[in-house]
Amino acid sequence: EPIVISTSITTQYVKELHELLQSASYSPYSIASDWIYTDAETENGLPGFTVQVRLKSKVNDAVIKEFAPDRCFPTKKLAKEVSAGVALEYLKELPDEVAQLPKAESSDAGSMRSDDPQESVNWVGMLQDFCQQRGALPLYTFFQPSKAHQQFSCEITGVPSVQTKVFGSKAMYYRNKKIAKVQAAKAAMLYLNENPQPIPPKSPRGRAGSNRSGQSAGKAPPGSIIKVPATIGVVEKVSRICPQLGLSLPDYAFYQDPNAPSLFDVSAIVRRGGDKKDARFGRLRGKLGKKNAKEHMAAAIFRWLHTEA
């Protein structure tokens, strides 16, 4: 009976290996991973590949360790994934071979940023103002190489007028979420300053004190009834109700599960303004997809708005 090797890949060992080598524990040693493939034949007579993964120092080009799984794989992708898993097992704890390596200069130590840039500009606040003037808020997604390493990166999406652009880099890690968020917001504002985006003109006012675009015209008078169409989604409902209650639009923050990239945790803040305490929501965990996570959080905020009103 020929041995059937599954070609379905459910692990992310290659990604995890890359992130581990960029972590605070390993980035000072500046380690590279190389894969060498050789054409071979699987046990059922089909063409395949054997693989060797080599860990070496980028400082002195010394080979640290080589791994060659004793198997023939039907695809290079599967071969790379399995060999990365072997390398991860070896690197689970800092090996002596790595600890004895010369450390790289700080400029070559990978993409981990342990410093805390002292920014004199409120980049997050500037981006918040830019987005609110255009009737939306940015989406912050945080990444963590592994739960064992307290480093974070941040990406920003959903910036009005440039919704398709992503600001920040999930490969650039900082020692806490605040620094990562500030640096991503800085990248966004530097781009927006170089590429000015005009504020769209407001639509003429329609009935019920709102404009035709559906955006609230301002805080509703005390005792008034706030009406929103039943046919719109809960995220849009929350976006329409909050300004009429004198609240900010929700500031959503997303956290991607490093072991399951399709799963997201989400939290949110609604600012009351003045001396009133901000309302904080979450953290809702393990939601499938960012859009789904946002809808679950918006539903929680929507329930809270009934009590706030």
Residue 118 lies in a domain: no
Co-location of 181 and 271 in the same domain: yes
Q: Could you identify the residue written with the tokens 């894969």?
A: 35
Residue 207 lies in a domain: no
Co-location of 163 and 228 in the same domain: yes
The SS3 of residue 238 is helix
Q: Do 124 and 181 form a contact (C-beta atoms < 8 A)?
A: yes
Longest dimension (CA), the chain: 79
Of 85, 108, 131, which marks where a domain is finished?
Answer: 108
Q: What pLDDT is recorded for position 113?
A: 52
In terms of residue numbers, what domain contains 22? 13-108
Q: From CA 24, how far away is CA 145, in angstroms rounded?
A: 10
Co-location of 163 and 271 in the same domain: yes
Domains of the chain: total: 2
Q: From CA 69, how far away is CA 123, in angstroms rounded?
A: 48
Co-location of 178 and 148 in the same domain: yes
Residue 220 lies in a domain: yes
In the chain, the N- to C-terminal Cα span, in Å, equals 70
Residue 5 lies in a domain: no
Number of H helices, E strands in the chain: 7, 10
Q: What pLDDT is recorded for position 41?
A: 86
How deeply is 10 buried, as exposed, middle or buried, from its count of CB atoms within 10 A (0-12, 13-18, 19+)?
Answer: exposed
Amino acid at 237: K
Of 108, 135, 155, which marks where a domain is finished?
Answer: 108
Q: What pLDDT is recorded for position 297?
A: 93
Positions of the chain with pLDDT lower than 70, given as ranges: 1-11, 104-119, 147-149, 200-220, 223, 309
Q: Do 154 and 177 form a contact (C-beta atoms < 8 A)?
A: yes
Q: What pLDDT is recorded for position 300?
A: 93
Burial 225-240 (b: 16+ CB within 10 A, else e): eeebeeeeebbebbbb
Co-location of 67 and 133 in the same domain: no
Co-location of 19 and 148 in the same domain: no
Task: Report, in this order, helix, strand and coil percent for the chain, each rounded to 5.
Answer: 30, 25, 45
Q: What pLDDT is recorded for position 210?
A: 38
DSSP 51: E
Q: What pLDDT is recorded for position 105?
A: 57
> Can you give the CATH number for the domain in which 25 is found?
3.30.160.20
- H helices present in 52-122, as ranges: 76-90, 96-99
Co-location of 278 and 151 in the same domain: yes
Task: Identify the bridge partners of residue 183 per DSSP, sorted by sequence position.
Answer: none
Of 80, 108, 136, which marks where a domain is finished?
Answer: 108
Residue 232 lies in a domain: yes
Q: 88-115 pLDDT, tens per residue?
A: 888 888 888 888 888 765 433 345 454 4
Q: From CA 289, how far away is CA 262, in angstroms rounded?
A: 5
Taking phi over 0 as left and psi of -120 to 50 as alpha, with beta for the rest, 274 belongs to left
